[in-house]
Structure 1
Amino acid sequence: MLTASPTVAFAAPEAQCANPSGTYTGGVPWGQRLVDPARLWPLTRGAGQLVAVIGTGVDGQNTQFAPGQLEGGGGTEATDCDGRGTIAAGIVGAQPDPSTTFAGVAPGAHLLPIRYTQANGSSNDGGDPGALAGAIDTAVDRHAGVILVAVPAAFDSPALSGAVARARAQGAVVVSAATATQQGARTYPTATSGALGVGSVNQAGEPVQTEAGDYVGVAAPGAELVSTSAGAGGAVAHRWPVTDPGLAAAYVAGVAALVRAYHPNLTGDQVVTRLTLTAHRPPSGAHDPRLGWGVLDAYAAVSSTLPADVAPPGSAVAPAPEPAVIPAAAPARPASDVAAGTIALAGVALAAAAGVTVAAVRRARARGWRPSRFTP
């Protein structure tokens, strides 16, 4: 449960623009406890990685971003009237700060804000797919290794699918959330070949979004979240509680940056394989149209020992022995951070198995490459 904290004074926001709830001083937010990035920071904080945050811009005056962490130029934007870009960017890379328990997943990464749409806080709709394609091309030109589409488009276009294909060819990981609110609707590039589609869950592990499809690869927290706010006016400022399926993609993008930093020789496709292969499987053990291959497991994705060329889950190839998953040792989690609902308990169980070589697991790829550490 999120705990209210005192609201502090900030500069008056622009009319119709997003403004902070205050400075968050409650307990560690559940989504952050689930992903548990601090457990991986002794291994990597994402240094050397550039994450493009494509959406509504990012408020550079929020001081939970380090000086120089937001890169400018080339069509980037360091202001954010709408607010969604700043929230997503904070989940990816906000710095730990003594004034708050909230911190981003990869605080060592640099962020490249690129605005392609601006709704002034009045709508959750995405923008023009052609403009989004141009934003992705800008991110590729700036050599972003991870491209987070914080605000997907409601429609596809040849330009958008072409931009995703170019990004993939250059080795970038394109991450986009499933955010459609109408049954049967799709968002893009979430549903575009070559992008990693992300579903979202609440604290009970239940899907948040309506959108579903075989293109959803993994799920992450997307409800009752805390993150950085636009309109900070030179302070550390937050918005909470925020429920937005699009924010699940920000958690995945942050973990992708950690994976890239710790495994610099992996291709973008190999990073995606790690994220999906190590996820906590849905109850069925198979792909779920709203949860993908399961809920993101940052610890396993970064630290597990896997062959670089291991096949992704669901791959239509002949069955072969599966690799043992060997998590690297990491510091124990403080007792106060234990228990973030049903999903978090699974994460604690995994952490307890750190450093133990897991026996070879089920052979059938049709079962989703589920490691034996998840088998009762």
Structure 2
Amino acid sequence: MRARPARRLTARPAAALAAALAVAALALVPAAAPPLTAPAAADAVRDQQYWLDDYGIREAWQVTRGEGVVIAILDSGVDASHPDLAGVVLGGTDVSGRGNATGTLPLGPVGITHGTMVASLAAGRGSGPASGVIGAAPAAGILSISLAFGPTERSGDDQIAEGVRWAVDNGADIISLSLTRNQLDWPASWDDAFLHAERNDVVVIAAAGNRGSGTEQVSAPATMPGVLTVGGVDRFGRASGDASSQGITIGVMAPSEALIGAIPGGGHRFWQGTSGATPIVAGIAALVRAAHPELDAANVVNRIISTARPVTAAVPDPLYGYGLVDAAAAVSADVDPVAENPLGSLADWVALNRRAEAEPLAAALPELRAAIGRHADPAPFGMPTAGSAPPEPIIPIALIVTGVGTALATLAAAGVLRFVTRTRTE
């Protein structure tokens, strides 16, 4: 296994606004449905966290609690002053132009609670030995990278790309993305950012999205090769009708209903959605990285999906992926190593699908000309010269079709006429 590169945690000021840029924000929304009920009493919070036992998290803590691992939360900002997050936030930044320099100012009408809830499920430490929200990896650290949902001075695409790069450059071992673009595809700017994560051995985990929030199918970044996509199940391990989406890129399932998380100001709320399932899996990935520091990102992902508890006979299943995540097994089971990420490689996808259109088109045009030229003089396609009658077309249509077909085949082989949203063929 290749050694994980050492990365230095640094701080930097909030990103400067792009001058005179008035662009509507990407349709970038949190992957969670609104909270379900009023805040729970602080002394009853821990008892609500059924997933700690049901998904082997407490058992995994007998081996590790995620010491030394850094999880980057790209979200609406994490309230570092919450008692459950005391000492958890190591640093951060803002990429929206609206937050503070450390990414700890909760942003937006929806995001005002979102990022803090997400962080608490990943690495919360509770307000006492048996009170408050405790995350799946309570000894891990958090980087808070604040985004702004809805109309902003910066596009959502740009915010995500910058946030991912910042996370990688500032020490993240895991990036947790509880958001969706609501589209299968993603911009080319994400190629560079997510390739930066892939090449620097960072595990990227993304929410599948929620039907109840309008995401009928898994969308980017959860469609990107190499990304561990998390779907959601109810308390009984059944795929959630409202709090999860369906798609062939789902890796594992985790709880997405009857969740409880920390909110800015010191309180707690019940909520639902794959926004909550995702940081639970991010915390489990932190446990794996802490227990097996020799493993690269591909093998961390492999341990998580190969130790999941299958729900159906067909694995992976388009509804359940590889099954229900099992923290204890992911940390302690014997798992054969892999040479490549079993969820695919973004680098391979980019090489196949992001070639500049002009280059293969230019290469195909001589093929088209040659195909036509083999069958007829191209003069009939020219304008008539002075004093001459308009020429009659003399090229049989079948030959024209043959020539065009050859060129189109060339374009298709070059990737111009093909759009692939997934490289895995399980």
Name the CA distance, whole Å, in 1 between partners of 2:41 and 2:194: 37
In structure 2, what is the equivalent of residue 51 of structure 1? 71
Residue 160 (structure 1) aligned to one of 190, 197, 205: 190
User: For residues 336-358 of structure 1, what are the alpha-carbon distances to aligned partners after superposition, in whole Å with 9 as ceiling and x for unaligned?
Assistant: xxxxxxxxxxxxxxxxxxxxxxx
Shift of 1:119: 5.8
Equivalent pair of 1:23/1:99 in contact (CA under 8 Å): no
- The alpha-carbon distance between structure 1 residues 285 and 48, as it changes in their structure 2 partners (threshold 3 A), is same
Name the CA distance, whole Å, in 2 between partners of 1:30 and 1:272: 24
Residue 91 (structure 1) aligned to one of 116, 121, 127: 121
In structure 1, what is the equivalent of residue 91 of structure 2? 72
Give the letter for the 1:150 counterpart.
Answer: S
Name the CA distance, whole Å, in 2 between partners of 1:92 and 1:183: 23
In structure 1, what is the equivalent of residue 158 of structure 2? 130
Equivalent pair of 1:229/1:238 in contact (CA under 8 Å): yes
Equivalent pair of 1:87/1:229 in contact (CA under 8 Å): yes
Structure 2 spans left out of the alignment, 5+ residues: 1-34, 95-101, 345-425
Residue 225 (structure 1) aligned to one of 235, 243, 259: 259
In structure 2, what is the equivalent of residue 150 of structure 1? 178
In structure 1, what is the equivalent of residue 390 of structure 2? none
- The alpha-carbon distance between structure 1 residues 311 and 113, as it changes in their structure 2 partners (threshold 3 A), is closer
Equivalent pair of 2:226/2:342 in contact (CA under 8 Å): no
User: For residues 154-203 of structure 1, what are the alpha-carbon distances to aligned partners after superposition, in whole Å with 9 as ceiling and x for unaligned?
Assistant: 34211123312220111000000110434754322111112111111001
Shift of 1:102: 3.6
Name the CA distance, whole Å, in 2 between partners of 1:223 and 1:246: 10
User: For residues 117-144 of structure 1, what are the alpha-carbon distances to aligned partners after superposition, in whole Å with 9 as ceiling and x for unaligned?
Assistant: 2469xxxxxx712211111111011120
Give the letter for the 2:42 counterpart.
Answer: T
Report the number of matched residues.
Answer: 288
In structure 1, what is the equivalent of residue 418 of structure 2? none
Q: Secondary structure of the equivalent of 1:212?
A: coil
Name the CA distance, whole Å, in 1 between partners of 2:190 and 2:340: 27
Structure 1 spans left out of the alignment, 5+ residues: 1-17, 121-126, 316-367, 369-376
Answering whether residue 285 of structure 2 is matched by residue 256 of structure 1, we say yes
Name the CA distance, whole Å, in 2 between partners of 1:212 and 1:130: 27
Moved more, 197-206 or 30-39: 30-39
Shift of 1:313: 6.9
- The alpha-carbon distance between structure 1 residues 265 and 23, as it changes in their structure 2 partners (threshold 3 A), is same
Moved more, 165-174 or 283-292: 283-292
- The alpha-carbon distance between structure 1 residues 314 and 192, as it changes in their structure 2 partners (threshold 3 A), is closer
In structure 2, what is the equivalent of residue 334 of structure 1? none
- The alpha-carbon distance between structure 1 residues 90 and 184, as it changes in their structure 2 partners (threshold 3 A), is closer
User: For residues 47-68 of structure 1, what are the alpha-carbon distances to aligned partners after superposition, in whole Å with 9 as ceiling and x for unaligned?
Assistant: 110000111110111011132x
Equivalent pair of 2:226/2:343 in contact (CA under 8 Å): no
- Provide the TM-score with structure 2 as the length reference: 0.62
Give the letter for the 1:238 counterpart.
Answer: H
Q: Secondary structure of the equivalent of 2:204?
A: strand
Equivalent pair of 1:28/1:102 in contact (CA under 8 Å): no
In structure 2, what is the equivalent of residue 140 of structure 1? 168
- Provide the TM-score with structure 1 as the length reference: 0.70
In structure 2, what is the equivalent of residue 279 of structure 1? 308
Sequence identity (%): 28
Name the CA distance, whole Å, in 2 between partners of 1:73 and 1:87: 17
In structure 1, what is the equivalent of residue 98 of structure 2? none
Residue 243 (structure 1) aligned to one of 272, 275, 281: 272
Displaced runs of 4 or more, over 3 A:
18-22, 73-76, 182-186, 310-315
Equivalent pair of 1:147/1:174 in contact (CA under 8 Å): yes
Equivalent pair of 1:50/1:111 in contact (CA under 8 Å): yes
In structure 1, what is the equivalent of residue 365 of structure 2? none
- The alpha-carbon distance between structure 1 residues 28 and 22, as it changes in their structure 2 partners (threshold 3 A), is closer
In structure 2, what is the equivalent of residue 213 of structure 1? 247
Supply the RMSD in Å over aligned alpha carbons: 2.6
In structure 1, what is the equivalent of residue 321 of structure 2? 292
